Chain A
Amino acid sequence: DGGITQSPKYLFRKEGQNVTLSCEQNLNHDAMYWYRQDPGQGLRLIYYSQIVNDFQKGDIAEGYSVSREKKESFPLTVTSAQKNPTAFYLCASSIETGYGYTFGSGTRLTVV
C-alpha cells in the first residue's frame, strides 16, 4: 500500500546534538512538507519542497535544515541552533493538484 513512513516514532537526544528525522513516501507525490506541532497547538510549517533538489522555508525554518535529493525522501535535520526542539514532527506529501495532503504518523522528539 502507498503511504508515508516516518521514523523513528519516538526519539530522544541530548541538548546540543543534531538529529535527523526520516520521511519516505511511495505515493509518487512531487511535493513534501514538514510541520511541527507543540502540545495543544495547531501545525506550523517548517520547510516544504515542490520538486527534487528544491525546497523553501516555511514559517519557522530557523534551526532546521532539509534536503530533497530523491523524490521519495525528505529528511529533516533539527540542529543545535533550534532553541526549543522538543515537539511532535509531521511529514506530509501531496500531488500537484488533488485532494490534499497525506500525512505520516509523526515523530515525537524529546531533547533532554
Chain B
Amino acid sequence: DAKTTQPTSMDCAEGRAANLPCNHSTISGNEYVYWYRQIHSQGPQYIIHGLKNNETNEMASLIITEDRKSSTLILPHATLRDTAVYYCIVRVDQGAQKLVFGQGTRLTINP
C-alpha cells in the first residue's frame, strides 16, 4: 500500500470549514483513499473514501486531485466534537486488505 503524509496537527475555529490535507504521491491506479478519525480513547470511525472522483456524505467531503497524488478532507462546519486524530490511508479495495495507519493529523477545534 502507498505511504501517506499528513501534517502532525492543525487548528480550526468552530463553525468554520476544516481542510485536512494528505499527500499520497506513490498511489497506484487501483488504490482508494480512505479517511478515518479517532476521538480520544475510542476506536477509529470511518468517514469517507474515494478513488478519483470527489465524494460527499453527511460527515464530510473528499477532494482528490486529478493526478491523485494528494487529497483534502473537508469538514464543512466544524464543531467541538470534531476534535480528533484524522487518518488518511490508501489501500486496494480488494480482499481483506489490512489498513495501515500512520500518525494522522491531530485536529483541534477551538471555540
Contacts and interface: CB of A to CB of B under 8 A. Distances in A.
A33 B96 CA distance: 10
A101 B34 CA distance: 10
Given A41-B103, A42-B103, A102-B46, A96 B96 contact: yes
Interface residues of B, number: 21
Contacts of B95: 50, 96-97
Contacts of B34: 100
A99 to B, nearest CB: 6
B94 A105 contact: no
Contacts of B99: 33, 43, 45, 92, 100-101
Contact of A101 (B41, B46, B102): B46
B20 to A, nearest CB: 15
Contact of B96 (A45, A50, A88): A50
Contacts of A41: 103
A102 B46 CA distance: 7
B43 A90 contact: yes
Contacts, number: 59
B101 A42 contact: yes
A33 to B, nearest CB: 6
B100 interface: yes
A48 B99 CA distance: 10
B41 A42 contact: no
B21 interface: no
A74 interface: no
- Which 4 residue pairs spanning A and B have beta carbons closest together? A103-B43, A31-B96, A43-B101, A50-B96
Given A43-B44, A97-B94, 7 more contacts: A35-B101, A42-B87, A92-B44, A96-B95, A97-B93, A100-B34, A104-B43
